[in-house]
Structure 1
């Protein structure tokens, strides 16, 4: 990130820490679209995604005095929004299946599964995945978390994260073929 942008964001965060509503609005406008896209990839509906973003910003502004710049504000906010989504999805009782419970191991490589597909089909297919699959697929492939991080975030084993990701990929490929 450009040094001037980093300074501007830090300055906004500091003004927000002192209750400046205009700065809160500016910070919100800077990050709302990115946070909405993250939440939308994880949740069942636009409305749920909007709720998670709203709750994420509410928590971020509430706990802003504890923000110590150990990461960027955007990374900190992203973690809050993702945790909000995860907690909401946990209330829906997502069933996790351990990697050990799946017969056989998967020899397919990612490259073997990728064909050129219409991006609209991929986006629609992701939205049609079951919550658990969509959640891990989004965290891993789209948000860039590794399976160890996902297992820590979700409170599941690394092998479960890997198996759910693999199942999500297989399901997505089937969905795309049917669209």
Structure 2
């Protein structure tokens, strides 16, 4: 693991110096998992490609902003997620409510105990299909929570919503997911 960290640090240093070969190597290492991340948010491979191009371009032009406080992959993933969410909002501006308007605006007072989902009993494909069939705000928060592995604090920051709003949305999304899975 130390070699991989040292190797990526070397590649980043070379990228900062303008090495196209180093940029290509970084792109090849991170493209596939980050493309899948983008695709899960925007739900269209062509838009996901656009997101990836914009995200890598931004990352390579803003490498001086990378301070090493988190891993390079986490920093790059955050850029991809932000571009994906922005692209999703642009795509759906006219078709449906923006994610901001469908997220629930409630306070912590009515916080209910989180639903527990036993994914060991449910086939992964069935669970993913159920998540994809939920309303957009639920789909996005559950994708960030279960698939991307973000915690509630990170999700609220990514989506620009309050912690209470995030918990409520996640709770309601889990309830909706449980209902979909029980119907299947």
TM norm structure 2: 0.82
1:131 equivalenced with 2:136 (yes/no): yes
8 Å Cα contact 2:115-2:171 kept in structure 1: no
CA displacement at 1:136 relative to structure 2 = 1.2
Distance 2:50 2:19 in 1: 23
8 Å Cα contact 1:42-1:131 kept in structure 2: no
In the alignment, which residue of structure 2 is the partner of 1:13?
12
Distance 1:78 1:149 in 2: 13
More displaced 10-residue stretch of structure 1: 138-147 or 54-63:
138-147
Matches within 5 A, 1:37-52: 37-52=36-51
> In angstroms, what is the RMSD of aligned CA positions?
2.3
Could you say if the C-alpha distance between residues 40 and 176 of structure 1 is closer, same or farther in structure 2, counting changes exceeding 3 Å?
Answer: farther
8 Å Cα contact 1:99-1:162 kept in structure 2: no
More displaced 10-residue stretch of structure 1: 44-53 or 74-83:
44-53
CA displacement at 1:107 relative to structure 2 = 4.0
1:174 equivalenced with 2:173 (yes/no): no
Segments of 5+ residues of structure 2 without an aligned counterpart are none
Secondary structure of the residue aligned to 1:13 is: helix
8 Å Cα contact 1:99-1:159 kept in structure 2: yes
